[in-house]
Amino acid sequence: MSYIFNVKKGWSDWALSEDWNIYGTLNFSVERKPTFAEAQRKWALFWNVVDRLCYGKGNGAQRRISRYVYAHKGSNGDNAHIHFLAKVDGDVREFCILLNALWASMEHVGGAIADQNEILPVFNIQKVSAYLMHEDHGYEMNGFCEKLTHLPKDAIAMRHNAVTLLRSAANRFQHLNDAAIAFDKHFERAEQRYNRRNAN
């Protein structure tokens, strides 16, 4: 077996060892494509808002949602987007919809509309973990985004009203309704892909 295979298998084994329950892709609006450096600042703002809503202001170190983030530039280098694995408490479907609606509501940073993102429950962690690295070449994990990643050590439960606060923050300009419609459509497509692959 090659060194590259062993590196990728090591990553996959690590991903399997964590109880991730959400996989997502966040895109930018077609009209608002930022540079990669700008995109990283905008993703950081999104995750900071999510963390603050789910955990409140930390006394000392800020508590954060457990997540593993991979940032990609697209095949032409002009399509900054992230893929992420996350672990949340509570209703996974609801969290998927709320995260998508919140990103879509952040028009000031150029967040894509809900239909152009995809945030779903994890169907198959092996397939998802492999997909995170699809733009990497060789054994380099070029897309791994350490600044946005927060690994699930010493995890504590989210505040009891996290969902209510997320819903309130995301409930602008029909984004919640659009995100719910997008979730159902994306879920159906993902389920069909999953079933097709398992049938072969």
Beta carbons of 26 and 103 less than 8 angstroms apart: yes
Neighbouring CB atoms inside 10 A of 11's CB total 19
Q: How many residues does the structure list for the chain?
A: 200
Listed residue (176, 184, 27) closest to 110, CA to CA: 27
Q: Which residues are within 8 A (CB) of 11 and not within 5 positions of it... i.e. 6 or more apart?
A: 129, 133, 141
Structure confidence at residue 84 (pLDDT): 93
Listed residue (200, 13, 25) closest to 125, CA to CA: 13
Listed residue (65, 73, 70) closest to 28, CA to CA: 73
Structure confidence at residue 38 (pLDDT): 94
Listed residue (35, 182, 14, 36) closest to 103, CA to CA: 182
CA distance 120 to 134: 19
Q: Tell me the one-letter amino acid at 47.
A: W
**Buried b / exposed e across 51-71, counting CB within 10 Å, b at 16+?**
bbbbbeeeeeeebbbbbbbbb
Q: What is the pTM of this model?
A: 0.86
Residue pLDDT tens, the chain, 200 long: 565 566 667 766 777 778 899 999 999 998 878 998 999 999 999 999 999 999 887 666 678 899 989 888 887 778 899 999 999 988 999 999 999 999 999 988 999 999 999 999 998 887 777 777 766 665 566 777 888 888 866 667 788 889 999 988 887 767 899 999 999 999 998 888 877 777 66
Number of domain units in the chain: 1
Q: Map residue 144 onto helix, strand or coil.
A: strand
Domain that holds residue 9: 3-199
CA angle 91, 95, 101 (to 5 degrees): 150
